[in-house]
Every structure is written in structure tokens, then in C-alpha cells.
Amino acid sequence: MRLIIDRYLMREITLTFLAVSLLLVVMLLSSNFIRLATEVLEGDYPVGAFLMLFALKGVGNIVFILPFAFFFSILLAFTRLYKDNEIVVLMACGGGARRLFAGVLMLSLLVAVVVAYLSLFFAPWVAELSKQMLDEAAAKQEIEGIIPGRFNSLGSDNVVIYVEGYESAKKELRGLFIRGEQGEGESRTRYTINASRAYEKTEPNGERYLVLQDGYRYEGVEGQSDYQIIKFDEHGIRIKERSVKASRRPFYALPSADLWRSDHPSHLAELHWRISVPVSALLLALLAVPLSKTSPRSGRYRGLFVGILVYVVYNNLLTVGHSALGKGEVPPELGLWWVHLLAIMLLLFLSWKQQMWPRRREVRQGAE
């Protein structure tokens, strides 16, 4: 009978968890899509890296919604069971509060292990991969990455290009103004090019050129007036590749092993934050059991409202503790464990107040 009760509870929680997670993932991906599209249009990221960044950032951020999705799914599942009097039937069949906690605990341990892997290893790896891809994209500027209406650098030379428009169907730039330098020392010359359109061409040996069409080239030595004016139907400018330079990595992109070996307060704060994600998933799942207790006559969403309020307070305390730990205001030994201790105390208080555990006298009478 106990196995049947556990299996039924796990099935109800799992189905609700999958539905809630799918909804939150869609909302997260939609928000990330709009934000990344805006940043690409503003020139913060290259156009060619949009889809890969969207996938990486979306997958990397899923870890932070799983604890809430699991917590909310237990609230929804157990609230429905209470409203339909199914919990009363389960308790009458021998499934008391211990069975409820046991069923939730088995599933929450599995979720906590998955979340721990995502938080400690997978999310930092995705963040590092995103940074590497952006560094490589910055070194290899594609024609699609040139933003119309803004001055853009081209290759590793001191070449600045301004375009009026871009035709994505033909992959052509329209209305170009280019200014650059060539040579060294006294023989260094500057040139200015106006062209009606241009496209990118890659030779078999891998060299890349920007092919300009229908324009003029003005070239001369700085400080002298003997400039050359050349009219051309087609003119190519070699695009030299930039060397890939590793940008400064944020704390969330560092491996957990590096954070563990570091004594920097910000690194320790990031490590405690990653550890708090699976811990909070476990504690929130257990808190959902007493928070979801309701009667058929009470409001259907009262438990959900209180549960969300508890989650908001818990998450805000973690955020405040993370900030204080990063500033060195909290001892590293204490970390964020004081927030989890408050959650444990709340769990014990709610369980005691709702009499979810049998008293000593009831236990003795049952034994007799």
C-alpha cells in the first residue's frame, strides 16, 4: 500500500512539475530572445552568434528556474489533493504526514542532484563557452556584423567603415564610407573610399576580402596635398583577422574548482550561491508539504499565495546574503547557511503547528 501511495504522489508531482517547467522555460526563452535581439540590434553582439548565444544562455539559465518550478508544482499538486479530499483518503489508508514527506523527499533528492550538477558544473561551462564564442566572433568580424548607421572597425588594421544600409537577401552593403591607413613610418598613407555597394568574398586559400563596387578611392601621405583619386568599378580590401583575445571572465563563468581554491570574497560568494541552488531546491520542496495543507472550505489559492511569499522572502534573503558575502561583511564559514537554517526552522515550526507529526502521547497509545 505504501508503495502505491508513494507512486501516486510521485506521479502527480512529476506531471505537474513537467507542465510548470515547460511553461517557465517558454517564458524564459521568450524573454532571452527579446533581450538578445535588442542587444544584437544595438551592436553589442554579432549577428552570426545570435542563435548560438540564444541556445547557450537559455540552457544555462534553466538551472535557476528548476527549484521554483519544483516547489510550485508540489504546491499545485498537494493543494488539489487537499481540495478533492484525496489526502484524507490517503491518510485513512495509512499514508500519514510521514508518507507525504517521504514521497516528496525521494523525488526532491533526485531533483537536487540534477540541479547541483547544472549549478556547479554545467552552467559555468555554458557561460565560459559563450564568452569564448564572443571572443572568436570579435576577432572574425563578418559582414553581417557591420551595423548600418554606425562606425565599425574592420579587421586588425586601423580601418573604419560606415554603411547606410544592408541587404540581407544579397548580403550586400549599401552606401559605404571607409577610412584607413597602410604602410609604416614616413611612407604611411591614408585613404578614403566611397562606394555604392560591397560584398564579402573568401578566396580558396582562406583570405577574406571586402569587394567594393562603383566608387572612388582618395589616397595620399598625411600632411601633403598630392592626393590620388582613383575611380573604380570593383576594388578589394583584404580583411586581416584579429588575434583572439580572451576577455575578462565574470565570476559566474569560472569553474567551481577555481572558486573553491580561491580566498577572494566574490569568488566565495559565487561558490556559496551555486551550492545554495540545490540546497534550496530540497528545502523548498519539503516546505511545500505544510504550506499546501488546506481544507475544502478555505480558498483554493491561499496556500499558493503564502507559498510564493515564502519563496520570495527566501530568495531575497539569499540575494542579500550573497551580496554581503561578496563584500566581505559575512564570514566565509557562515556563508549562506544561515538562510537555509531559517528555512529549516520554518519547516519545523509549520510541521509542528499543523500537527503533521504525531505527539508522544499518540505514539504511545498507538504502540499499546
Q: Is the confidence at residue 227, as pLDDT, over 50?
A: yes
The answer to whether residues 86 and 133 belong to one domain is yes
Same domain for 275 and 357? yes
Q: Which residue has the cell 533528492?
A: 109
Residue that terminates a domain, selected from 221, 239, 257? 239
Alpha-helical regions (H) of 42-122 = 50-61, 66-83, 86-92, 97-117
Together in a domain, 171 and 227:
yes
Tell which of 239, 271, 289 closes a domain. 239
Report the predicted TM-score, pTM, of the whole model to 2 decimal places.
0.68
Is residue 109 located within the same domain as residue 180?
no
Which 8-state DSSP code applies to residue 131?
H
CA distance 19 to 128: 30
Q: Is the pLDDT of residue 308 over 80?
A: yes
User: What 8-state DSSP symbol labels residue 65?
Assistant: T
Kindly tell me the sign of the dihedral angle through the C-alpha atoms of 23, 19, 344, 80. positive
Yes or no: say if 173 and 149 are a contact pair by the CB < 8 Å rule: no
pLDDT tens column, 318-367: 999 999 988 888 888 888 999 999 999 999 888 887 666 554 444 444 44
Sign of CA dihedral 347, 348, 353, 356: positive
What residues are paired with 273 via a beta bridge?
none
Among 239, 270, 296, identify where a domain stops.
239
Can you say how many angstroms the Cα of residue 351 is from the centroid of all Cα atoms in its chain?
35
Best-predicted range by mean pLDDT (25-29, 71-75, 166-170, 363-367): 71-75
Q: Do 30 and 125 sit in the same domain of this protein?
A: yes
358, 285: one domain: yes
- Could you tell me if 104 and 285 are in contact, meaning their C-beta atoms sit under 8 angstroms apart? yes
Domain range enclosing 205: 144-239
Same domain, yes or no: 90 and 166: no
Give how many domains the chain has, as a whole number.
2
pLDDT at 150 over 90: no
What are φ and ψ of residue 226, in 5° steps?
A: -85, 75
Residues 130 and 159 in one domain: no
- Cell numbers that stand for 259 in this block: 572558486
